[in-house]
Amino acid sequence: MAVERGMKCVKILHYFFLLAFCACAVGLIAVGIGAQIVLSQTISQWVTPGSVLPVVIIAVGAFLFLVAILGCCGACKENYCLMITFIVFLSLIVLVEVAAAIAGYVFRDKVMSEFNKDFRQQMTEYPKQNQSILDEMQKNFQCCGAANYTDWETIPLEPKGRVPDSCCINVTQGCGINFVMTNIYTKGCVEKIGVWLKTNVLVVAAAALGIAFVEVLGIVFAWCLMRGIQSGYEVM
């Protein structure tokens, strides 16, 4: 009886972790979508470590949700094969999350170098565009140019010697013409936005490791429940 009561507790804890996995799955999908939106506005869509990471996060979140459903079915039916499958799939997810966290840490400097290259490329294309994502970045992050505002001197803007209006502290039509330094942002965007990107990559990597730790506990309880099913205990 004591063993059976213990297995009932394990089963309840297993359900608790399944709920936690579903919440983590939704969180991962939301974080992945948010990261993809941010990176699509700051880094070009070439296949790079920085651009692939959000896709991996979304895929892991979706797969984790499906695996949680599988674990629920296995526990409800007390099916040994389903529980084994749940443990194997959840172990694979843990490995992917740990690998993604390590990749995020290793490639954190790569993200900044990619952003620097793409930002300067977008600066060269700025005169051909009526609206540019650079304007949004410069206004939102209160910066001007890549390294500083003087980077715009090499860009053929009309009239010569101006900066985009988005560099102005108070944006008005034509404020970048014959500008006064005290009226514009002088610091560059690469360092400001690059540091922000690196910080958020590390936050995502730390969150992935935290979720992986919870999943390891879930694997332990699922293993205990599977052993109880295999031994023929009445767990419900």
In angstroms, the CA 91 to CA 72 distance is 16
In angstroms, the CA 210 to CA 151 distance is 41
The long-range contacts involving 41-45, CB below 8 angstroms and separated by at least 24 positions, are 41/133, 41/136, 41/137, 42/115, 42/118, 42/119, 42/133, 42/137, 42/193, 42/197, 43/111, 43/114, 43/115, 43/118, 44/114, 44/118, 44/121
Local confidence band at 46 (pLDDT 50, 70, 90 cut-offs): very low
| Backbone φ, ψ for residue 148 (5° rounding) | -165, -175
Q: What percent of the chain has pLDDT over 90?
A: 20
Local confidence band at 235 (pLDDT 50, 70, 90 cut-offs): very low
DSSP 65: H
In angstroms, how far is CA 161 from the centroid of its own chain? 39
State the pTM of this model. Answer: 0.69
Helix/strand number for the chain, H first, E second: 6, 0
Arithmetic mean of pLDDT, 82-99: 89
pLDDT single digits (tens) 180-205 = 989 999 999 988 887 787 777 777 77
